[in-house]
Structure 1
Amino acid sequence: LSTHHPRFLQIVTNATFTPAVYFVVDGLEEHVLQTDYIDAQFPALNGHRSMYWVYRSLNFLKKNQNLPLPLRIDFSCYIDRDKATYANLTKHILNDASASLSVLGASDLCGVAETYYFIDDTQRKKYGQAFTLEALFNPHVNRLSFWTTLMLENKE
């Protein structure tokens, strides 16, 4: 990582693109809503369990490899909902990011790079609306990407 990442940053930046690395959010509802979560190693994660892997990955880049943190924190966000609304869970995850990642000096801008694409239209609409509302009203959401995971076969 320490060998290839600096070169990656240089090549991508020289090509006038923004280099990005994306991370994985813990989107399990019980973890997202676990306000009493205590992290024995990283107190910044207390009450912010959805950022468990994102924080650890950024910390690894910064502390162990002495590598620069991305200009925007991009992550895949697969929310596994039980009773809470997608809107509530999405808002909670993005608030967790703002609260915990700033301790590392990470950018306050984030992007959702990947998420579920539900087959059911109603479920997909609710899920998409939750992310859309956050993208519209949360100044920290800088990018939102969705794509279909359905494979369409080309029949000639």
Structure 2
Amino acid sequence: MKTTIKAQKGVGMMEVLVSMLILSIAVLGFVALQVRATSATDEALSRSDALIILNGLAERIRLNSNGDYKAVIPATQPACVSARNCNENNQALADLFEQKSIADYKGIRLGVVDCVGTSANQSRLCLIAAWDNTTATIMAKNQKNRCLNSDDGRYAEDSHCLVLEAY
């Protein structure tokens, strides 16, 4: 019995290797959770920014209901901002430019299109904010990086966008 006690003088190499393996798997699990949490936080921040921008644009559309908000968003600030006698369409361009400037600063792309499945009697505008690789538009299912499907109006898989209906 004395020979077995003297032969055991510490932790064996096999026990150390097994404990290191278990510890490394646990550390890798925590790292994966941290990466996922960071990604979810970024997505939530983008959604929050997009919602604020789209709500601002929707309020401007309600204020200027006769303006053409489906127009191409201008690259430069329209003269309407400084003029007092501005028509509805020029005011719409100025509103689009201002909201686009805010969105560009946040890394968000804006789009304004007719919503899928609405009638001419009750047309609705879809205000789209997209980020990452998603384009702010409605396209067919076979096209990549779209926000919404053109046949049913649903969000595309793996899209990073937010849609707000305005009427």
TM over 0.5: no
Higher relative contact order (CA 8 A, sep 6+): 1
Higher alpha-carbon Rg? 2
TM-score, with normalisation over the residues of structure 1?
0.30
TM-score, with normalisation over the residues of structure 2?
0.29
